[in-house]
Amino acid sequence: MPLVNYATREITCKIVYYGPGRSGKTTNLHYIFEQVPNDRKGKMVSLATQTDRTLFFDFLPLDLGSISGFSTRFQLYTVPGQVYYQATRKLVLQGADGVVFVADSQARQLEENIESMQDLHANLADHGMDVRTTPLVIQYNKQDLPKGLILGVDELEDALNFRDVPSFPADALHGLGVFETLRGISELVLRRLSAGSTAGAR
Amino acid sequence: MVDLDPRYRFESYVVGSANRLAVSAARAVAQAPGSAYNPLFIYSSSGLGKTHLMLAIGHLARQLQPELDVEYSTVDEFVDELTNAVSSGTIDRFKHRLQGVGLLLLDDVQFLAGRQETQSEMLRLFNALQRSGKQVVLTSDRPPAEIADLDERLITRFSGGLVVDVGVPDYETRVAILRKKCEERGVQFEAGVLDEVARIKSGNVRELEGALNRLVACQALGGTAVTARNVRELLGDRIETPVRATPVGGARGEEFASFLADVREVVAQHIETWRVRVGEAMARWRELGYKTGPLERALQASEAPDVDALLSEQESVVARLQSLAQEAAKYDAALAASELFFDPDRLSEAEMAVVRLVGGAEPPPGPSLAYSRAEFEVGPSNQLAVHAADTVIEEPGKKYNPLFVYGSAGVGKTHLLNALGNELLAMSGEAMLVACTDGQRFVDELIAALQEGTIERWRARYRVVDVLIIDDVHLCAGKERSQEELFHLFNSLYSAGRQIVLSADRAPKAIEGLEERLRSRFEGGLVVEMQPPDHVLREKLFARHLATARERPDRALVDYLASRSVGSVAEIAATVERLVKAAEVVGVPLTASFARKELEGSISAPAAARVIDGRAVDELFLDEEKVIWDWPDVAGRAIEEFR
């Protein structure tokens, strides 16, 4: 699906929140959901298990209304973080215009973050998407935890942000950094409006 | 009359991008009250300089026309005055006074909201002022249409001149305003201080002035110098740099609103207008059912194309498709409605389909294979025509167009024309469409087409050809409709550079009943005559025919036969056939003497005709050397001269 359809005057932006299990992807979406006025959001679809872990994916459609004459919609997805939902992750990633990698700042989760990041790269490559050009931002979530438990932003940058993409410290539970992250990825994605990555056909 | 505050002049008004339009409009009004923009309606939120601008108009207008009566009033004062006038019974005097005003400046008209009585009085006054060409300048904190409960008639009157807004000054303008204020007050600050103050994203100039006042006070009282570093401290909480517009946990919706604003900005920044234009065009064409392949491909490109050219190209291609569809609809409505005629990428396919449809599956008649150029014998009597034909074969449509060959029956016109057609076919690898017909057939086909109502199809069959050959075209003469059709066909082919070759039994001007317009066209190319076979040609032809009849080419026999004058090629063939048969019947070989006996019978041999070296000699020219037997290359010279 193209990012922009000039003929029907639509911008449709699919953003996928990716990251290891329990890093706070769904929490991000929940916070956004809470902040969005009712007439702007669709129903948040969350397929969660009884233990509140995302089983399939979360989906939050946002209607941003008419922007520069284009009817603009954002679709926010999360992937299940658990390693064994590999197929679902790959499926959700399909056609993504941008990816938010939600990293868990806890020191003991570093390995999971790295694995998940590698998994993201592999899946993007499988979809034929160029990792270097796909819009990506990183969120270092749970920065509110006691300093002893978490890694600082600098350490996380060293470990995860080897492409030097925009990154945001966050406390998704309380909403800190959530919209900054969304804004960051939106800007990267929307910049592509002026590139040739558009289509009018369908 | 209220005195105008002398501080508010254009000279002290800092112009930035946010107020440039308003300032130029204000100047125009001050320079020519009543003629530029009337009324001038200035709106902006509070503290951005509406009143300053309005008073500046007053000052400048007075300066330029000292006798001009300038009245400044806020709506509140105006209402008070009006009420007083009503209560003291001096309403007429009030009105009269106002009507004498040349420039009325009315501040804060948003306060008219909800005051019905004042509004109707205002309306009457406004009409009177406008009628007499008096300038009115109004200010408000919102545009006319947004003033609550404002009479519809007042809205239209307020909006009838020019409505301009004054925006929030940008950083640079804020710095300029601060510098100007310092200048006015004669105070000076360390470098960087004013810039720091300007960074306060305050929504209006008044706040900015307030901040400056505070710094001036600090500097004057405290003794501590104001530096760029301590500006924030000195201004206390006011200077809180606008951190992020959305404090965490802010009111529900605020963060989203700010996000939305950002998205708008980014989209506005990155959306390219040429793509929007192309998209609009695509939507339009798609609505009409057309495909937009070329436009879609243009959108894929990263560089902007020449959009105007692109769009007009699409337009012209669609127009062509439409006309093709119309043409197709005459024969096959189903085909005309097919996708083919809605896809610019398939234009050439659509064109072919129409040609096939209109032309029918049946191609026009082609040249007869029985005639070939190789078998065509050339002699002085026909070499001009043959030379012309060869030129046409080499360059069809270029040199002799049309080529008109005439001569009496049996001189080989048909052979030459068909041979020419076959040669063109062979040269082009059958790629050329060569129509070869004759006058009679042309007329018959036309009659049949008229009868069956397939005239269009018949026409199209011929209009698509690359080469049109019509033998015995004189048979069309005297037939009005045939000549009409031929005329149009001729024109359409000729203008497209297609070769036309015609033959007749006489020259165009000698053909009776041939329309003038056709005659002149026939004569416009090359008209060339084919004469009855000459001696050389007769020799060749007899030799060929005898060879074909498997007779031994006997020199004496050929000489004898060639010496006889014949009217046509056909006669030669007939003669050979007759002799061969006769010789067979009698059972003797075919010799010159047998031939003579057979052809001349009892009539005495042409004793009178002396034969010298195998040639018949006229008695008048007994001296052989004085007879020119061969004219060297007559044909070539004649053509040269014809050019």
Q: What is the band of A172 on the pLDDT scale with cuts at 50, 70, 90?
A: very high
| Contact call for B266 and A191, based on CB within 8 A | yes
From CA A126, how far away is CA A90, in angstroms rounded?
A: 8
Q: By C-alpha distance, which of A8, A1, A197, A4 is closest to B285? A: A8
A201 falls within a domain: no
**B251 shares contact with chain A (CB less than 8 Å):** no
Looking at residue B457, its pLDDT comes to 76
Q: Which among B317, B335, B272, B322 is positioned nearest to B299, based on CA atoms?
A: B272
For chain A, say whether B264 makes contact (Cβ under 8 Å). yes
Question: What confidence score (pLDDT) does residue A98 get?
Answer: 94
Q: Where are the alpha helices (DSSP H) in B163-292?
A: 171-185, 193-198, 205-222, 231-234, 254-270, 273-287
Q: Is A126 inside any structural domain?
A: yes
DSSP-assigned letters across all residues of B74-92: EHHHHHHHHHHHHHTT-HH
- The answer to whether position A33 is within a domain reads yes
Mean pLDDT, chain B, rounded, equals: 80
Is residue A12 situated within a structural domain? yes
Give the model's pLDDT for residue B203: 66
- Return the SS3 of B437: strand
pLDDT given at position A81: 80
Domain limits at A87?
3-195
Domain count of the fold of chain A: 1
pLDDT of A202 strictly over 50: no
Q: Select the residue of A32, A176, A193 nearest B270 (Cβ to Cβ).
A: A193
Q: What is the pLDDT of residues B552-564, one digit of tens each?
A: 667 778 888 888 7
Residue B369 in contact with partner chain A when CB distance is under 8 A: no
Q: Which residue from A9, A34, A37 is facing B279, i.e. has the nearest CB? A: A9
Question: CB-based contacts of B403: which residues, under 8 Å, 6+ apart?
Answer: B388, B389, B392, B499, B500, B501, B502, B525, B526, B528
- Angle in degrees, 0-180, between the axes of helices B480-495 and B439-452, rounded to the nearest 10: 100
Of A40, A67, A191, the CB nearest to B264: A67
- Classify residue B395 as exposed, middle or buried by CB count within 10 Å of its CB (0-12, 13-18, 19+): exposed
Whether B245 shows a pLDDT value over 50: the answer reads no
- Across residues B486-496, what is the average pLDDT? 87
Predicted confidence at residue B244, as pLDDT, reads 36
Residue A200 domain-assigned (yes or no): no
pLDDT of residue B401: 86
pLDDT at B237: 45
Residue B602 pLDDT grade (very low, low, confident, very high; cuts 50, 70, 90): very low
Q: Tens of pLDDT along B176-223?
A: 888 888 888 788 887 778 887 887 666 678 778 878 877 777 777 666
Q: Measure the CA angle with vertex B410, ends B409 and B415; round to 5°.
A: 115
pLDDT of residue A80: 84
Å from B336 to nearest chain A CA? 25
List of chain A residues whose C-beta atoms are within 8 Å of the C-beta of residue B263: 64, 67, 72, 183, 186, 190
Closest residue, chain B, to A65 (C-alpha): B260
Asked, for residue A202, whether it belongs to a domain, the answer is no
What does the block give as tokens for B617? 């000699």
pTM score over 0.95: no
Does B245 lie at the interface with A, CB-CB under 8 angstroms?
A: no
Q: Could you tell me which chain A residue has the CA closest to the CA of B282?
A: A7
pLDDT band for B241, please (50, 70, 90 cuts).
very low
A186–B262 CB contact, under 8 Å: yes
B279 shares contact with chain A (CB less than 8 Å)? yes
B606 pLDDT tier (thresholds 50, 70, 90): very low
Report the sign of the C-alpha dihedral through residues B482, B484, B487, B492, in that order: negative
Four-CA torsion B9, B11, B15, B21, nearest 10 degrees: 60
Q: Which residues of B159-181 are buried (b: 16+ CB within 10 A; e: fewer)?
A: eebbbbbbbbbeeebbbbbbeeb
Would the pLDDT of A82 be above 50?
A: yes
Contacts 24+ apart (CB under 8 A), B58-63: B58/B4, B58/B30, B58/B103, B58/B105, B59/B4, B59/B6, B59/B8, B59/B9, B59/B10, B59/B30, B60/B9, B60/B10, B60/B27, B60/B30, B60/B31, B61/B29, B61/B30, B61/B31, B61/B33, B61/B103, B61/B135, B62/B4
Tell me the average pLDDT across B149-175. 83
Which ipTM was obtained for this model? Answer: 0.88
User: Is A116 among the domain residues?
Assistant: yes
Q: Which residues pair with B510 in a beta bridge?
A: none
CATH of the domain at A160: 3.40.50.300
In a domain, A73, yes or no: yes
